[in-house]
């Protein structure tokens, strides 16, 4: 109950019911009596606790005659303890009643486990002294409530780190007042100093994960203008320019219930006068540790590095960094004999490597060239004057406007004064005179080619929709158009025509080598009509006809005779003879070799380097037995390995045995 912050709704309820009893207010608001009395005092409200004559008459009439729970009906604004004290002051005595057996049983069974206040509620007709005296006479006593070493260790480890509910759950037999007293005795520290008893609250887990635009922006802003400290853990942000308004945005983002501090009038050496400063401080251990995890560490000036955040949130981080450590100023540029005002975008810092990482992100995402970071080392930093000797990088003119459009596109949080100044140039990332001039150049070139521009000119790197003189419509980059790129559809048609002509010439040459003749028109990938060397006419797809093994229908319909002729020609070249009928490419035939021995082979397996069985048996004298490189003998039946053996005889015997089993 303690440590809860008063809400505006609770304060309004308290003001409206200030005349009600404290215990009633305590039940309604879930606050302690002490908290309610202190709040009433701060609000300038007091409860009239003076006893009235009518109340004294009620006490004189009924004291000692009715039960304790009945007094709330007669005097609703008074506690029973206050009524007993008033009766004592009035000289009234309550007639003591004898202890009943039921009351004695209740006292014996609950004295060791209940507190004194609980016993008073249970035995409403008895006073605290009567209960205590009776317990002594009965030999009753409370248990030993001394603190154990385990309880002390738990209290030391959790008192300044965990919530009240967590601590009370770990010490169920201790009241909160007892826990506080023990913590003071053990000198474990203050819960208020640890940030657990708070006057102001906010979202302590805001920076645990950087997963939204708002979190990424404020992380970048804290990188620039924030600082953290330890003991206690504290974040402090101090601003001069647009200080209070911008800090109010951060306060709303984290739900901070406190106020922005200021204005403070401090001297300014750079401006030769005074400036007004506003400050926001947030104290919480977990909140600061989350910031430190993302790179916001104490004394971070020369230690910052680019944080590890999602790629899509990097521009929001840089926008926050720019609002803190960046600036936008007015410069001039000359274009076509005229002088124009242009913006200059810059960000400064003490760590060149960090600024180089920022530049790399801008180059990658904002479509600008890479600028050099002006590197000034840590030793050259003028701490006394704090002038502009920190490292920095800058962009001017069109690149600055591109960065502006990239930073603020679909953004919901930024520093208003810098955004307004940046957008005081009422044109986008291309100057109006540049856009008008380039549009004229493009239209002139379009007219020369007979083309038509269908969309607005959006810059050199923008898209543009074009219609050619043949009516084809496409979208391309302006830079591609200026590089003499033609209509892609027209180019495809011309390329197809060239490929068709080349394909026809190539096909005619292939057919001439085979003795074939092309009878139909060449149609790319379609079917064509051919006359073969035998005088027969047939059709075939073009991609099949150009293959080296393509055959006419004469050969394909008489493949058995053709295969036999090929086999006889092969055997004649080898000096072999066909000793059986030819039944097909994948059917075994009997062949007689030059040594006069016959063996069987598949026509499909016979090649120029094929050997007869006489030559195969020359190494071992046994068919299917081969000597390996390690000196052992391998037995095989076709592609199936039978095994490996030490001698030829074992290998031959194993092969014969295998053949018998298979048969």
On whether residue 100 sits in a domain, the answer given is no
Question: What does the pLDDT read at residue 345?
Answer: 92
On whether both 496 and 472 belong to a single domain, the answer is: no
On whether both 405 and 441 belong to a single domain, the answer is: no
More confident: 38 or 504: 38
Buried b / exposed e across 624-657, counting CB within 10 Å, b at 16+?
A: bbeeeeeeebbbbeeeeebeebeebebbbebbee
More confident: 182 or 504: 182
Question: What does the pLDDT read at residue 432?
Answer: 46
Using one digit for the tens of pLDDT, what is the confidence trace for 600-658? 888 777 776 677 766 565 455 677 777 776 778 888 887 788 888 888 888 888 888 88
The domain of 535 spans 491-557
* Rg, the chain, Cα only: 50
On whether both 347 and 473 belong to a single domain, the answer is: no
pLDDT band at 478 (very low <50, low <70, confident <90, very high): confident
On whether both 309 and 218 belong to a single domain, the answer is: yes
pLDDT band at 292 (very low <50, low <70, confident <90, very high): very high
Question: What does the pLDDT read at residue 294?
Answer: 94
More confident: 553 or 618: 553
pLDDT at residue 347 greater than cutoff 80? yes
pLDDT at residue 388 greater than cutoff 60? no
Angle at the Cα of 568 from the Cα atoms of 565 and 573, rounded to 5 degrees: 125
Question: What does the pLDDT read at residue 384?
Answer: 44
Nearest Cα to Cα of residue 167 among 185, 177, 155, 178: 155
Question: What does the pLDDT read at residue 346?
Answer: 92
On whether both 176 and 30 belong to a single domain, the answer is: no
More confident: 168 or 499: 168
Cα–Cα distance between 129 and 339 in angstroms, integer?
Answer: 98
Kindly state the average pLDDT of the residues 454-473: 84
Specify which of 171-175, 547-551, 616-620 reaches the highest per-range mean pLDDT: 171-175
More confident: 496 or 278: 278
On whether both 174 and 298 belong to a single domain, the answer is: no
- Partnered with residue 636 across adjacent β-strands are 641
More confident: 213 or 70: 213
pLDDT band at 10 (very low <50, low <70, confident <90, very high): confident
At 446, give phi and psi (nearest 5°). -60, -45
Laid out side by side, the sheet with 226-229 consists of 226-229, 234-239, 273-283, 261-268
**3-state class of 136 per DSSP?**
helix
Sequence-ordered list of residues with C-beta below 8 angstroms from that of 79, at least 6 positions apart, any chain: 21, 23
On whether both 504 and 480 belong to a single domain, the answer is: no
Assess contact for 293 and 357: CB atoms under 8 A. Answer: no
Kindly state the average pLDDT of the residues 44-50: 68
More confident: 511 or 389: 511
Could you say which of 186, 205, 231 is where a domain stops? 186
CA 483, distance to chain mean position in Å, is: 41
Kindly state the average pLDDT of the residues 397-407: 88
On whether residue 473 sits in a domain, the answer given is yes
On whether both 523 and 651 belong to a single domain, the answer is: no
Locate tokens 């050969």: which residue? 555
On whether residue 2 sits in a domain, the answer given is yes
pLDDT at residue 534 greater than cutoff 50? yes
pLDDT band at 359 (very low <50, low <70, confident <90, very high): very high
Using one digit for the tens of pLDDT, what is the confidence trace for 364-381? 999 888 988 987 654 444
pLDDT at residue 92 greater than cutoff 50? yes
Kindly state the average pLDDT of the residues 427-433: 47
Could you say which of 186, 205, 236 is where a domain stops? 186
On whether residue 245 sits in a domain, the answer given is yes
Assess contact for 94 and 125: CB atoms under 8 A. Answer: no
On whether both 376 and 508 belong to a single domain, the answer is: no
On whether both 175 and 264 belong to a single domain, the answer is: no
Q: CA 407 → CA 111, 221, 250, 412, distances in Å?
A: 72, 14, 19, 11
pLDDT at residue 141 greater than cutoff 90? no
On whether residue 476 sits in a domain, the answer given is yes
pLDDT at residue 386 greater than cutoff 50? no
Using one digit for the tens of pLDDT, what is the confidence trace for 568-610? 888 888 888 888 887 766 678 888 887 777 888 887 777 766 7
On whether residue 446 sits in a domain, the answer given is yes
More confident: 239 or 431: 239
pLDDT at residue 291 greater than cutoff 90? yes
pLDDT at residue 263 greater than cutoff 50? yes
pLDDT at residue 323 greater than cutoff 90? yes
pLDDT band at 146 (very low <50, low <70, confident <90, very high): confident
More confident: 658 or 384: 658
Question: What does the pLDDT read at residue 273?
Answer: 58
Helix axes 80-89, 53-62, angle to 10 degrees: 90
On whether both 253 and 325 belong to a single domain, the answer is: yes
More confident: 484 or 8: 8
Mean pLDDT of the chain: 80
Query: How many domains is the chain built from?
Result: 6
On whether both 416 and 288 belong to a single domain, the answer is: yes
Cα–Cα distance between 73 and 357 in angstroms, integer?
Answer: 75
Kindly state the average pLDDT of the residues 525-552: 78
Using one digit for the tens of pLDDT, what is the confidence trace for 432-445? 445 676 788 888 88
On whether residue 32 sits in a domain, the answer given is yes
Cα–Cα distance between 250 and 214 in angstroms, integer?
Answer: 9
Angle at the Cα of 558 from the Cα atoms of 553 and 564, rounded to 5 degrees: 135
């Amino acid at each position: 109950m303690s440590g809860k912050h008063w809400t505006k709704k609770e304060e309004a309820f308290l003001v409206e019911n200030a005349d009600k009893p404290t215990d009633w207010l305590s039940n309604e608001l879930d606050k302690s009596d002490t908290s309610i009395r202190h709040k009433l005092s701060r609000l300038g409200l007091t409860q009239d606790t003076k006893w009235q004559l009518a109340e004294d008459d009620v006490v004189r009439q009924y004291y000692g005659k009715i039960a304790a729970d009945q007094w709330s009906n007669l005097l609703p604004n008074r506690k029973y303890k206050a009524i007993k004290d008033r009766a004592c002051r009035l000289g009234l005595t309550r007639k003591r009643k004898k202890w009943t057996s039921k009351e004695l049983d209740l006292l014996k069974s609950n004295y060791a486990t209940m507190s004194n206040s609980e016993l008073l509620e249970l035995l409403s007709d008895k006073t605290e002294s009567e209960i205590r005296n009776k317990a002594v006479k009965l030999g009753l006593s409370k248990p030993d409530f001394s603190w154990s070493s385990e309880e002390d260790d738990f209290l030391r480890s959790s008192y300044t780190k965990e919530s009240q509910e967590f601590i009370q759950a770990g010490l169920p037999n201790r009241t909160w007042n007892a826990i506080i007293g023990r913590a003071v005795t053990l000198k474990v520290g203050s819960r208020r100093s640890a940030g657990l008893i708070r006057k102001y609250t906010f979202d302590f887990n805001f920076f645990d994960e950087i997963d939204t635009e708002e979190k990424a922006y404020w992380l970048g802003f804290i990188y620039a203008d924030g600082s953290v400290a330890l003991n206690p853990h504290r974040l402090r942000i101090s601003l001069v320019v647009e200080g209070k308004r911008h800090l109010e945005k951060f306060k709303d983002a984290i739900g901070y219930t406190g106020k922005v501090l200021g204005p403070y009038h401090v001297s300014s050496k750079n401006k030769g006068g005074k400036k007004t400063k506003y400050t926001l401080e947030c104290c919480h251990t977990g909140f600061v540790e989350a910031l430190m995890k993302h790179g916001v560490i104490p004394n971070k000036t020369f230690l910052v590095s680019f944080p590890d955040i999602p790629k899509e949130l990097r521009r929001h981080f840089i926008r926050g960094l720019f609002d803190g450590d960046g600036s936008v100023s007015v410069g001039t540029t000359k274009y076509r004999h005229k002088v124009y005002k242009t913006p200059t975008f810059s960000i400064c810092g003490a760590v060149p490597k960090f600024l180089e990482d920022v530049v790399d992100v801008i180059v990658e995402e904002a479509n600008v060239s890479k600028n050099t970071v002006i590197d000034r080392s840590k030793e050259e930093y003028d701490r006394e004057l704090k002038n502009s000797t920190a490292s920095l990088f800058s962009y001017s003119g069109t690149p600055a406007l591109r960065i502006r459009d990239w930073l603020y596109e679909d953004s919901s949080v930024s520093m208003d004064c810098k955004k307004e100044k940046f957008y005081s140039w009422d044109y986008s990332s291309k100057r109006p005179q540049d856009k008008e001039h380039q549009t004229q150049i493009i239209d002139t070139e379009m007219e020369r080619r007979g083309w038509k521009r269908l969309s607005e000119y959006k810059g050199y790197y923008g898209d543009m929709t074009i219609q050619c003189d043949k009516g084809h419509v496409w979208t391309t980059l302006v830079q591609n158009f200026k590089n003499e790129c033609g209509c892609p559809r027209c180019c495809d048609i011309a390329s197809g025509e060239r490929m068709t002509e080349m394909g026809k010439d190539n096909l005619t040459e292939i057919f001439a080598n085979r003795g074939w003749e092309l009878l139909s028109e060449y149609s790319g990938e379609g079917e064509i009509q051919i006359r073969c060397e035998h005088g027969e006419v047939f059709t075939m797809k073009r991609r099949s006809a150009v293959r080296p093994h393509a055959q006419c229908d004469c050969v394909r319909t008489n493949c058995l005779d053709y295969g036999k002729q090929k086999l006889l020609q092969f055997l004649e070249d080898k000096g072999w003879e066909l000793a059986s009928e030819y039944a097909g490419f994948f059917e075994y035939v009997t062949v007689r070799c030059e040594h006069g021995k016959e063996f069987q082979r598949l026509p499909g397996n016979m090649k120029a380097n094929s050997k007869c069985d006489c030559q195969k048996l020359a190494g071992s004298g046994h068919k299917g037995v081969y000597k390996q490189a390690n000196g052992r003998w391998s037995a095989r039946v076709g592609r199936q390995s039978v095994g490996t053996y030490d001698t030829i005889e074992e290998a031959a015997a194993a092969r014969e045995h295998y053949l018998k089993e298979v048969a």
